């Protein structure tokens, strides 16, 4: 059926006019002001009806029904208002009853092609019904302006405009409709306004208001229809506003239609969002732990009363949802925030999705009702976090001669690092552990299997650790000294096998924050991704007096070994099949690079290694 009007043939009776503010005898222009009211713009979709439209209490200042029909003329239509009064009229193609009712036509075969019918109806609060008795209706819309509605339904107060017509601008030419001052009252340039537009026959378009970009939108298809809603915050004070359709893209008919545009001054409303989740460092199954959820009102209005906040928790791959709720939160003024604490107890280890919803029961009318929810992931069970020396006793399997052993563990953390140790000076050994699949839910947080920061005297290895399939890095070492990484199997981490670096990168000369890192006898395989640059097997950035020796470094993207720093030894490594250089040395000096074996790096194209440094020793 769409194909029937996709290709216009032969002009018939065309009667199109610009989309503009109309004058109605006995009513005035289709603009004005309201107080503590609402402007309702609805889309009813295809079909003749009956279409029921429920309006809230208040004085209905103006209401229009609009619909599109293709290739059928002169329909009879009935409207019944909330008081039960019924009115029936027939609307004739290209006849206009003083802008109370009428029909614009594109003039194509058959029967004048595209029709835009409109009717100023006698709508009232309650249930209203529109029934179009004939015609091939592809979309329909309803616009109502209501003064002094109840508090629960107030959305707009101040100026409003309703512009309508039917226009088919030359394809590729920008088209504008103008809104002129609704009364002698000054325009409130400090308020936000709501703009609705109805259009069809375009795949995509860009909407501008007063020559400033609002958003890109789509009707869904070449012959599709849409009602779009925009927030506008750049009202001019001179009393004339302009909405413009630009950059129209259409893959089919190569034309577009514009039906109406409605603009109304919005009441400042609250807008509740979930701004943040705060989880404990670790949690155990079967034990209570707290989850703090920060709720912020990012809107311009106050919430008035209180509201409720819900928290739903689902284990990855499991069907059960654990539900929690906090009532009587708030009220919140503009930009105010509050922290809601939930006590959670979960029966199994695993990766859980936490979804919080502000105003979960819809108690607060908001400027955006679709942004109340946010989600975050958290791992229950198995994760190790050490913030200082005092935390070591609680996580160590054993302590021998003052050395803390973390061993014989299998660890995963979908939402961060598997093992985190920071700010310690006591000897620590991590051995015979499998640390896998860490951080895959939070790649932007730069997780790793093992994360060290500001530590000294840590050994990763001895008895081999398996550090595999982690997001970003297998091992991260930041701002640390005297760290030994040895005898580990480190594979298939998405960016780096081992990444050693300072908190802050600087230009030379480098401060000596990182030194005496010993990386020996590790197998480092298939780390990094071909789509990114700078990944690799072993990456040392701004380091001093480090040793990288006797490692098997194979099939890594981008580099096998990367060194930026001074006085380090890169010795006796077997480096094979790196996508780029087997070894890259950058902005460094006084490094010793000897007795390494290079096979098939850089695509077997010479050179196998690269060095722009001063005073390197080979």
Residue-by-residue DSSP string for 3-38 = GGGTS-EEE-S-B-EEEEE-EETTTEESEEEEEEEE
Spell out, as residue ranges, where the chain has pLDDT lower than 50.
1-11
User: What are the tens digits of pLDDT across the range 393-402?
Assistant: 999 999 999 9
Residue 11's CB is within 10 A of a number of other CB atoms, namely: 12
> Looking at residue 249, what is its pLDDT?
74
> What is the C-alpha to C-alpha distance for residues 145 and 84, in angstroms, rounded to an integer?
20
> Looking at residue 618, what is its pLDDT?
72
Supply the DSSP symbol for 393. H
Measuring CA to CA, how many Å separate 541 from each of 412, 444, 499, 501, 584?
27, 20, 8, 5, 11
For β-strands 114-120 and 59-70, DSSP reports them as antiparallel
User: Roughly how many angstroms between the first and final C-alpha of the chain, as a whole number?
Assistant: 77
> Looking at residue 201, what is its pLDDT?
84
> Looking at residue 12, what is its pLDDT?
63
For β-strands 523-525 and 552-554, DSSP reports them as parallel
Asked if residues 140 and 260 have their Cβ atoms less than 8 Å apart, the reply is no
Verdict on whether the full-model pTM lies above 0.75: no
Side-chain-side CA neighbours of residue 295 (13 Å): 30
Q: Where are the alpha helices (DSSP H) in 142-195?
A: none
Q: Which of 91, 142, 88 has the alpha carbon at shortest distance from 115?
A: 91
> Looking at residue 530, what is its pLDDT?
66
Secondary element (H or E) of residue 394: helix 392-395
> Looking at residue 10, what is its pLDDT?
44
Residue 42's CB is within 10 A of a number of other CB atoms, namely: 16
Phi, psi of 153 (to 5 degrees): -115, 5
User: What are the tens digits of pLDDT across the range 21-58?
Assistant: 999 998 989 999 999 999 999 999 999 989 999 999 99
Tokens of 283: 């949690």
> Looking at residue 171, what is its pLDDT?
62
> What is the C-alpha to C-alpha distance for residues 484 and 519, in angstroms, rounded to an integer?
6
Asked if residues 18 and 116 have their Cβ atoms less than 8 Å apart, the reply is no
> Looking at residue 4, what is its pLDDT?
35
CATH topology (fold) of 272-380:
Immunoglobulin-like (2.60.40)
């Amino acid at each position: 059926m769409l194909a029937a009007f996709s290709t216009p043939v032969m002009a018939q009776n065309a009667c199109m006019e610009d989309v503009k503010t109309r004058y109605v005898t006995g009513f005035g222009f289709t603009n004005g002001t309201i107080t503590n009211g609402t402007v309702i713009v609805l889309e009813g979709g295809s079909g003749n009806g009956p279409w029921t439209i429920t309006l809230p209490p208040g004085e209905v200042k103006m209401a229009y029904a609009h619909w599109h029909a293709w290739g059928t003329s002169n329909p009879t239509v009935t409207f019944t208002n909330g008081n039960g009064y019924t009115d029936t009229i027939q609307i004739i193609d290209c006849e206009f009853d003083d802008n109370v009712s009428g029909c614009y036509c594109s003039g194509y075969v058959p029967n004048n092609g595209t029709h835009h019918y409109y009717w100023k109806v006698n709508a009232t609060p309650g249930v209203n019904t529109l029934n179009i008795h004939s015609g091939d209706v592809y979309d329909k819309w309803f616009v109502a302006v209501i003064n002094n509605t109840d508090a629960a339904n107030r959305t707009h107060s101040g100026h409003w405009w309703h512009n309508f017509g039917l226009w088919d601008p030359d394809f590729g030419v920008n088209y504008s409709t103008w809104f002129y001052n609704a009364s002698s009252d000054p325009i409130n340039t400090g308020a936000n306004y709501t703009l609705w537009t109805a259009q069809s026959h375009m795949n995509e378009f860009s909407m501008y208001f007063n020559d400033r970009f609002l958003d890109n939108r789509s009707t869904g298809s070449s012959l599709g229809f849409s009602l779009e809603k925009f927030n506008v915050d750049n009202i001019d004070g001179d009393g004339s506003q302009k909405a413009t359709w630009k950059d129209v893209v259409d893959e089919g008919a190569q034309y577009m239609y514009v039906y109406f545009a409605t603009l109304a001054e919005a009441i400042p409303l609250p807008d509740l969002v979930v701004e943040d989740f705060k989880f404990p460092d670790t949690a155990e199954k079967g034990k209570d732990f707290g989850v703090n959820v920060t709720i912020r009102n990012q809107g311009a209005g106050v919430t008035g009363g209180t509201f409720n906040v819900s928290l739903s928790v689902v284990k990855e791959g499991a069907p059960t949802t654990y539900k929690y709720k906090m009532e009587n939160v708030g009220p919140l003024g503009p930009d105010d925030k509050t922290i809601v604490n939930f006590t959670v107890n979960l029966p199994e280890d695993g990766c859980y999705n936490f979804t919080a919803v502000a105003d979960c029961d819809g108690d607060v009318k908001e400027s955006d009702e679709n942004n109340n929810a946010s989600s975050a992931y958290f791992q229950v069970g198995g994760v190790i976090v050490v913030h200082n020396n005092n935390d070591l006793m609680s996580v160590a399997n054993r302590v021998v001669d003052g050395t803390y052993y973390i061993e014989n563990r299998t660890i995963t953390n979908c939402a961060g690092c598997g093992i985190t140790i920071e700010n310690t000076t006591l000897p620590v050994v991590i051995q015979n552990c499998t640390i896998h699949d860490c951080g895959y839910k939070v790649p932007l947080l730069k997780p790793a299997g093992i994360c060290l920061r500001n530590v000294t005297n840590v050994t990763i290895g001895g008895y081999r650790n398996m550090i595999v399939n982690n997001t970003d890095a297998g091992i991260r070492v930041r701002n640390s000294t005297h760290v030994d990484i040895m005898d580990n199997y480190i594979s298939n981490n998405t960016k780096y096998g081992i990444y050693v670096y300072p908190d802050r990168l600087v230009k030379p000369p480098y401060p000596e924050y990182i030194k005496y890192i010993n990386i020996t006898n590790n197998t480092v395989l298939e780390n990094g991704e071909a789509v990114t640059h700078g990944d690799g097997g072993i990456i040392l950035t701004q380091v001093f007096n480090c040793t990288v020796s006797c490692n098997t470094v194979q099939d890594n993207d981008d580099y096998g070994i990367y060194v930026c720093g001074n006085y380090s030894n890169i010795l006796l490594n077997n480096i094979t099949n790196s996508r780029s250089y087997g070894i890259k040395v950058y902005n460094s000096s006084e490094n010793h690079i000897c007795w390494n074996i290079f096979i098939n790096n850089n695509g077997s194209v010479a050179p196998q290694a690269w060095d722009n440094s001063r005073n390197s020793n080979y």
